[in-house]
Amino acid sequence: MEKKSAHEIAHVLIEALPYIQKFKSKTVVIKFGGNAMVDENLKRSFAQDIVLMKLVGINPIVVHGGGPQIGNLLKRLNISTQFIGGMRVTDSETMDIVEMVLGGQVNKEIVNLININGGKAIGLTGKDGDFIHARKINFQPSTEDLKASEIIDLGHVGEVSSIDPSVVHMLCNSDFIPVIAPIGVGDDGHSYNINADLVAGKVAEVLNAEKLLLLTNTAGILDKEDKLLTGLSISDIDNLIADETIAGGMIPKTRCATDALKGGVSSVHIIDGRVEHAILLELFTDQGVGTLLVSR
């Protein structure tokens, strides 16, 4: 090995050391989605990052989405689907597909990825150990052509009402890595499809996580000149939404982030899941690869 290369490798390891020491025994919740879930190289690097986190004493907890995979199977089965307010209308037939894809196909693929890279992962849905309690949500349109009082039934679409963390604590204390599909169960015994960002945020709150990492298909939060913003506070986020710098699909993601901060999570990172080993770069380097949000 050349002397320069050896020096560069040593520098990287030493740079990571204080972060490894700081986060040892801490819980980090990672929302896995977007390009990172479909690109083979990105999937492999994600799994390696999660395994390394566990090996250096961090407790990673993965929450995953699966919208494109659900859509693909519905299309193959010739089942029509409709979105209202960015949420998939989920009747009983569609909910069966959602459970099959999220709780089966996608969840087990992620578990297998982590395991073949040297980890010990176990997949969960909200039904396991009475883990995620959900309540049904409906959509109330705000457009002028619809009455404000009109409520649209979205079917089996829910939000988190409560979380029992005991099963996750048990797994983490037994050196397993929980991989969570965002399916909750209501008081009526029905299954509900929940936005994965929201589940990740609530899990991070309940477990008093040190960090919440949200993988996206962008570099992070960008200003109006497409420059990356970082070190943002809750009030900064409110201002960026008010002046429409943050818009569209980034609004619910940032709202999830600020809710987590208000709930006691130390920091939230919105990072570019299109970058190989984005998690390690964000956690263990001085520069990072995304937007850092803090409560101050």
Cα 270 to the chain's mean position, in Å?
10
Strand pairing class (158-163; 83-84) = unpaired
Mean pLDDT of 63-88: 83
Predicted pLDDT at 145: 47
Predicted pLDDT at 150: 61
Predicted pLDDT at 41: 92
Predicted pLDDT at 141: 60
- For tokens 């999570």, the residue is 265
Q: What is the DSSP letter of 287?
A: S
Selecting from 3.20.20.70, 3.40.1160.10, 1.10.1060.10, 1.10.4190.10, what CATH number does the domain 25-294 have?
A: 3.40.1160.10
Q: Mean pLDDT for the chain?
A: 88
Distance in angstroms (rounded) separating the CA atoms of residues 270 and 33: 12
Distance in angstroms (rounded) separating the CA atoms of residues 9 and 4: 9
Q: Is the pLDDT of residue 9 over 90?
A: no
Query: What's this model's pTM, rounded to 2 decimal places?
Result: 0.90
Q: Is the pLDDT of residue 31 over 90?
A: yes
Torsion, Cα 218 32 196 239, to 10 degrees, reads -30
Domain boundaries along the sequence of the chain: 25-294
- For tokens 């080993």, the residue is 277
Q: Is the pLDDT of residue 146 over 60?
A: no
Predicted pLDDT at 85: 66
Extract the tokens encoding 66.
């699966």
Residue percentage of the chain with pLDDT more than 90: 57
> What percent helix, strand, coil does the chain show, rounded to 5?
45, 25, 35
Q: Is the pLDDT of residue 83 over 80?
A: no
Quick: pLDDT tens for 187-233. 988 899 999 999 999 999 999 999 999 998 888 999 988 899 999 99
